[in-house]
Amino acid sequence: MSEIRYYRHGRFCVAGGVLPDALTAYQTYGDPKNPCIVFPTCYGGRLDNRGLLGQDYMIATENEYHCLDPRKYYIVTLALFSNGESSSPSNTAPPYNGPYFPAISYADNIRAQYAVLTKALGVQKVHCVIGFSMGGQQAYHWAAMYPEFIEKFVAICGSARTSPHNKCFLEGPKAALVASKDFDNGHYKARPDIGIRAFGRAYSAWAYGQTWFRQHGYLHDGKFASLDDFLRAEWEGGFLDWDANDLLTLLHTWQSGDITESVGAGADFADILASLKPKGLIMPCKTDLYFPPEDSEIEIALMKNGSKLVVIDSVWGHMVGGGADAENMKFIDEQVAAFLAEA
């Protein structure tokens, strides 16, 4: 594993304007001579493992097996714009700081990641792009934007475009944050704890399956004393390491995600999926309320390249794709490993 590194793009045009000195944070694992696996972050994901979700939970170590094995693959993890590590409202100098930071699309991120791989790392071919949630959406966009550069893609609890019900869900935590008394329209001088805590609680409501809640899964076998204890420690605590404007800009990327926007105006959704060249492994969770399997079934039916649908039969909902449960993580590892090994 390398240290976190930063690629400077210089002046970089994005959906909402321009970044005068754009940065993409990345980290590598394994030998560059091995087949390359690209593993971008999701919402709440960071390379330094701070906050809600780290970026090494699918990477094997000497003591723990996972499908992304640095002994077999050259793994590149990449941080989304606005995650606090790559260029973000919180780390960009005026006049593009804070609420003045421009809107970012998935296409912007994929173009930046392509530059890191080809210019900084000298990668000529990617064996597979794999991601969870927003990472899964990026995998779809990679397949549409650079079909000759990648061979395969894996979308875990993600989709080719953000559905209306998903957009509607995101309005909840967004409203909880921007309406808080300490957010100050994004011009806060100190961390808006009240707004971020409200954001975390609103966000958590759809993160797990309903059966998981009924079974008191939030107690985590005695780790937490109550639902409130769980919400405070996991969801308030998970986002308190984040900057509020970063959360909102990244949320906008998710909310506006649409594979048709990545290939050009007027593109048809069904035609794009039908014409995808890289073969996909699509893994929704049966109880995911963000990216339900019905959306994946529609998308897989439109693909004509032998892509495969494997539904994760779990009560853990969306968070199962982020390694929340060891038993289900084993199933994901097995499915992805077999897919990576296919000719």
Looking at every residue in the chain, the average pLDDT score rounds to 96
170 and 55 in a common domain: no
pLDDT value for 296: 98
pLDDT classification of 1: cutoffs 50, 70, 90: confident
Domain of residue 230: give its range.
Answer: 166-252
52 plus 198 within the same structural domain: no
- Tell me, yes or no, whether 216 and 89 share the same domain: no
Number of domains observed in the structure of the chain: 2
114 by DSSP, 3-state: which? Answer: helix
Distance, in Å, from the CA atom of 35 to the CA atom of 165, rounded to the nearest integer, reads 37
Domain boundary among 252, 287, 302: 252
CB contact set of 62 (below 8 Å; sequence gap of 6+): none
Would you state the pLDDT for residue 265?
A: 67
Residue 278 shares a structural domain with residue 246: no
Same domain, 55 and 143: yes
Q: Are residues 212 and 276 in the same domain?
A: no
Which pLDDT does position 89 carry in this prediction? 98
DSSP for 261-294, please give it.
HHH-TT--HHHHHHH--SEEEEE-BTT-SSS-HH
35, 104: one domain: yes
Residues 331 and 183 in one domain: no
pTM for the whole structure: 0.97
Bridge partners (DSSP) of residue 283 are: 156
61 and 116 together in one domain: yes
CA angle 66, 218, 239 (to 5 degrees): 75
Grouping H, G, I as helix, E, B as strand and the rest as coil, residue 104 is coil
Of 198, 221, 252, which residue is a domain's last?
252
The catalytic residue positions are 133, 288, 318
Q: What is the CATH number of the domain that holds 48?
A: 3.40.50.1820
